[in-house]
Structure 1
């Protein structure tokens, strides 16, 4: 009986894919879990493994065809052939070294360390940096490698103690959940001499980005836009250019300019060559690529507008000064400004629900809860952990949650669930000295509040000029859903709550 090969689930928002290439032809022998076909979506390329061993009986869809999740791709006929395994390494060079240890007696005890699942919406990761090399002896929970997804970095620990005998992915490679990363021999056997080769071999292809031709849909879109392959940076496997890469390049302003691109090469002289020698080219992390793409998408999609106001921080500072010691002693966390701002924002969101809503096609989704994202800067980039149901929390509970999330963010320990589902975001540029800025929306949210530096300024109070600690506030909002009156009213309500903190206590 033939075994069917079908399109796997590709993620919550992905319903179809394009057949990029088949690795096998009808009549060829296949082994279970051997890659048969590569599917390409707007976000990622996915290899579909063989569900069983046998012979590829038929291919139902051709390269370049578009298929939906669950669609039939082909069939595998059961075969009694003895050893089709020998054909598998010939297809993928990196599999060849694995064949020898597999047949050897010590390999029976090898422990495979694979790419862990990082959440429903995360289908791939980049290999950031290895902490071990072939031949190293590791202990349980020693960090082996750091993986970079489009949302956070994730460290992979050693599940057992032993000797690293194989590294199956090089720094910069793109890997998927379940893919082999490294093999550990718990018996402590020495590593095969040929084992380091697979890790080093893919590096040149990753650097050049030319190991793979553009995906079919990407090639078509590049032809329509008049773009050359060297104008688009590929994010797919082995540097393959995907449709999403072309769209990102177009959004970034890349355009066809053959004459202009030739000119710089002609005028390059000794000075340009000397400058290039002093430059440093560093590959963007997955997190940084995603930050760049999402911020640009927000600008391209939303009708973004910013309104400003200023708040006298004196009352909050006086309250904080009077009770900070007692607060810290009772709750075990310092009393900062974020607790007050988060509560003030929640009060304002209840009054102006449009700022807490989002657009989905032709519908507006109003959120009857406040999940407040708090932007945190890390050495790897900006992340936005979410304080869930902040409207139901006290200032002390909010401060504790923000402190815990901030530590996780700086340590690279944030989970996917802790960065999803936010309905509104607060960004505090004041900690870096920013006096005023216009924050960019965190799509699909419709509002983001920018906090800034507290600075003493002369203010007119009751007819007298006095020095007050003032802060500029900025609310960026999506004008498609939030009217100017609503935006201004929201910011005024935040200002009123902060200038009279008693309103927060009395829920006014």
Structure 2
């Protein structure tokens, strides 16, 4: 027996890519080319294979570790003397990196059956008229499947804007446009296989070339927590890359609704079982879908099928309702089926996409999190007078300060004083955050969304008010991107413009608390000598009882109210 060091092979010129999945454990018997870990840059995710067959003796990496070419992954016990590493069946380029194995003077081979690359001017060169957009050099991968179409005929695209997503058995990547213009024809369809030089689309060119910025260094993206009422994920414009780069920037931390966040092997596993990934909730890091999530989904579907068959046969069968993580509630009655048209005229309308997504998230949050809500009042008489005076003094600036901007600053101060409120549960650990991103609920015609003010601790009231106005407008126009709604630490849901007194806001997982506020009203308050009119703001703080106890919640509410009553406390 020989002990072999298995290292990360050449993955192009990208360094320090994060490990997001460990696919083996000590004691496992593995084959040459079997995937060991999944790594992810800001452009692609891919699996790193073993160079030898044998038994895993010791893992040298863990989730979240950063690796590069030559990093030691594990120690492998092999039969006989250590042989030279097996030649991989395919190179492992990260997006835009190339395989790193081809000579710089060697032209890439053109696979049979594909359209040979055609010489063209510099990327984005200002041609007009029909332009053929081809698949660029994506290393020596062949016959990669098209799994997503990101544009349609009639769309106006920019240079480096993603057109399609392709997937091999090792990596998924987006293919950018080489030119700007209007899409006239799309020459590929879902499931088609493409290669270097394959024709993707025909674009009507629109003029002068656009400047192309160099590709950014690959970095691990921060986790993107799900909003309490997330909007439909809109594909954000990819960052420009260099002319030699094959792929545009990709943000794996914020997967779109049309491309679930899962590694190539998990997507292959799901396809083999016929599982629609868009309907599976990911429990892994950054919402990544794991094999356990797929198996739980299948079990839930099978349980539902058995129950339906039992009901049709009029045989007794235990009813179950799907809960977070694929678990069920034994004995729960099935949802009632009613023919409403028997009682009068009806009209059916599909739920908006926002409500479909938010409904699933809200249900999960309500079922999984043990909610408790504390109610309190804040005297905002002096703060409201200050706000009105400030707006009057700065009315020419075009920025209107709202009470919500003051509440965001108060929330930051309260989170600093009570750090357990600025934390998230991760298994048996509590993750304390040293940043302060505050979400606020925005009402739109299609439903509620939660944009996030990033680094609110570093911004003043005017800057926060301006950003809130811009984000609220994007929300109403349906233009919020995933980055606009990710990374929140604490949320504020305000019904101040509508009315009401108190309510129970649902926590925005993976946050552990949310502040709800209703419409302020003038009330008589005793000052020790007499009743005086004071402007009172109702507060409703919902909190996760797994992380926070009642005494801490009461103190948080009291402190938050005291800041609004005397905003000078913010500077203390």
TM-based fold match above 0.5: yes
Q: How far has the Cα of 1:359 moved from its partner?
A: 2.2
SS in structure 2 of the partner of residue 186 of structure 1: strand
Q: How far apart are the structure 1 equivalents of 2:443 and 2:199?
A: 29
Deviation sequence 1:390-439 (CA, Å, 0-9, x none): 22332223223323333333334444333332221111122333432111
Q: How far has the Cα of 1:443 moved from its partner?
A: 1.4
SS in structure 2 of the partner of residue 430 of structure 1: coil
What are the within-5 Å matches in structure 2 for residues 70-469 of structure 1?
A: 109-111=131-133, 133=153, 160-162=180-182, 164-166=184-186, 183-186=201-204, 214-215=274-275, 222-223=298-299, 227-229=303-305, 271=341, 278-281=347-350, 285=353, 287-329=354-396, 332-469=398-535
Q: How far apart are the structure 2 equivalents of 1:316 and 1:270?
A: 51
Per the alignment, residue 546 of structure 2 pairs with 480
Q: How far has the Cα of 1:248 moved from its partner?
A: 5.1
Q: How far apart are the structure 1 equivalents of 2:328 and 2:149?
A: 26
Q: How far has the Cα of 1:12 moved from its partner?
A: 7.3
SS in structure 2 of the partner of residue 297 of structure 1: helix
Q: How far apart are the structure 2 equivalents of 1:12 and 1:246?
A: 31
Q: How far apart are the structure 2 equivalents of 1:468 and 1:312?
A: 7
Contact in 2 for aligned 1:226/1:256 (Cα 8 Å) = no
What are the within-5 Å matches in structure 2 for residues 59-78 of structure 1?
A: none
Contact in 2 for aligned 1:164/1:182 (Cα 8 Å) = no
Q: How far apart are the structure 1 equivalents of 2:112 and 2:181?
A: 30
Deviation sequence 1:188-225 (CA, Å, 0-9, x none): 9xxxxxxxxxxxxxxxxxxxxxx996449757765578
Q: How far apart are the structure 1 equivalents of 2:388 and 2:339?
A: 62
Question: In structure 2, do the counterparts of structure 1 residues 477 and 228 end up closer, same or farther at CA, with 3 Å as the change threshold?
Answer: closer
Q: How far apart are the structure 2 equivalents of 1:469 and 1:308?
A: 17
Deviation sequence 1:442-467 (CA, Å, 0-9, x none): 11212211111122334444353444
Q: How far has the Cα of 1:380 moved from its partner?
A: 4.2
Q: How far has the Cα of 1:168 moved from its partner?
A: 5.2
Question: In structure 2, do the counterparts of structure 1 residues 77 and 434 end up closer, same or farther at CA, with 3 Å as the change threshold?
Answer: closer
Q: How far has the Cα of 1:252 moved from its partner?
A: 8.5
Q: How far has the Cα of 1:475 moved from its partner?
A: 0.8
Richer in helix (by share)? 1
Question: In structure 2, do the counterparts of structure 1 residues 472 and 392 end up closer, same or farther at CA, with 3 Å as the change threshold?
Answer: same
Q: How far has the Cα of 1:378 moved from its partner?
A: 2.9
Per the alignment, residue 54 of structure 1 pairs with none
Q: How far apart are the structure 2 equivalents of 1:182 and 1:254?
A: 51
SS in structure 2 of the partner of residue 369 of structure 1: coil
Contact in 2 for aligned 1:225/1:256 (Cα 8 Å) = no
TM-score by length of 2: 0.50
Question: In structure 2, do the counterparts of structure 1 residues 397 and 271 end up closer, same or farther at CA, with 3 Å as the change threshold?
Answer: closer
Deviation sequence 1:239-280 (CA, Å, 0-9, x none): xxxxxx9665956869898xx89x96xxx989559968x423
Q: How far apart are the structure 2 equivalents of 1:419 and 1:250?
A: 26
Q: How far apart are the structure 2 equivalents of 1:229 and 1:378?
A: 37
Q: How far apart are the structure 2 equivalents of 1:77 and 1:340?
A: 56
Contact in 2 for aligned 1:327/1:335 (Cα 8 Å) = no
Q: How far has the Cα of 1:495 moved from its partner?
A: 1.0
Question: In structure 2, do the counterparts of structure 1 residues 214 and 471 end up closer, same or farther at CA, with 3 Å as the change threshold?
Answer: same
Q: How far apart are the structure 1 equivalents of 2:147 and 2:438?
A: 27
Deviation sequence 1:130-157 (CA, Å, 0-9, x none): 8x65xx596879x999x9xxxxxxxx99
Any stretches of 5+ residues in structure 1 without a counterpart?
18-40, 42-47, 50-67, 87-98, 115-123, 148-155, 174-179, 189-210, 233-244
Any stretches of 5+ residues in structure 2 without a counterpart?
1-8, 12-16, 25-37, 39-44, 47-61, 64-72, 75-86, 92-108, 119-129, 137-145, 166-175, 192-197, 207-270, 276-290, 309-320
Q: How far has the Cα of 1:127 moved from its partner?
A: 7.8
Provide the alpha-carbon RMSD of the alignment.
5.8
Q: How far apart are the structure 2 equivalents of 1:305 and 1:470?
A: 23
Q: How far has the Cα of 1:288 moved from its partner?
A: 4.0
Aligned length: 376
TM-score by length of 1: 0.56
| Deviates most, 317-326 or 219-228 | 219-228
